[in-house]
Amino acid sequence: MIDHVSIYVTDPEAASALYAAALAPLGYEILMKFPGAVGLGEKGKPDLWLIKGDPSAQKQHVALRAASRSVVRAFYDAALAAGAKDNGAPGVRPMYHPHYFGAFVLDADGHNLETVCHDPYLE
């Protein structure tokens, strides 16, 4: 079981605005702030950390589970509205499995943020 993930970004404060908007449909919000770090999560537990650092070393891919396909779509729309770049519109990805419904965006540092619903037909 994963407890938390850290992503190194150029500007945690700016990145947190995009991540908070994009992940609001999943119930995520900014829960903690420290100098050079912002923690996001749900139910009072930060599990996604944006840390000031050098993001050029290697781009990260973080996928968060969505409760339904409509949440995947809401994430994608919110992320683009907040300044993310499209990296794969909401849709079924049958190469992973028949019910894999995901969407992908890139943040300002080029990290790939995804939401996915694995359940069939949950709108």
What's the pLDDT at 38?
97
122 is a domain residue: no
**Amino acid letter, residue 20:** A
Residue 32 inside a domain? The answer is yes
Is the model's pLDDT at 106 over the cut of 70?
yes
Q: Check whether 44 has a pLDDT greater than 90.
A: yes
Residues 87-113 have a mean pLDDT of: 95
20 in a domain, yes or no?
A: yes
End-to-end CA distance of the chain: 26
The answer to whether residue 123 is domain-embedded is no
Tokens (6 digits) for 88: 């794969």
Mean pLDDT (the chain) is 92
Structural domain includes residue 70: yes
Domain range spanning residue 56?
A: 5-117
Q: Which residue has the tokens 């903690």?
A: 32
pTM score of the predicted model: 0.84
Please tell me the predicted confidence (pLDDT) of residue 76: 98
Domain holding 70: CATH number?
3.10.180.10
The answer to whether residue 53 sits within a structural domain is: yes
Q: How many domains does the chain have?
A: 1
- The pLDDT, as a whole number, for residue 121 is 74
What average pLDDT does range 114-119 have in this prediction? 93
In a domain, 110, yes or no: yes
Beta pairing class for 61-65 and 112-117: parallel
In a domain, 112, yes or no: yes
pLDDT for 4: 86
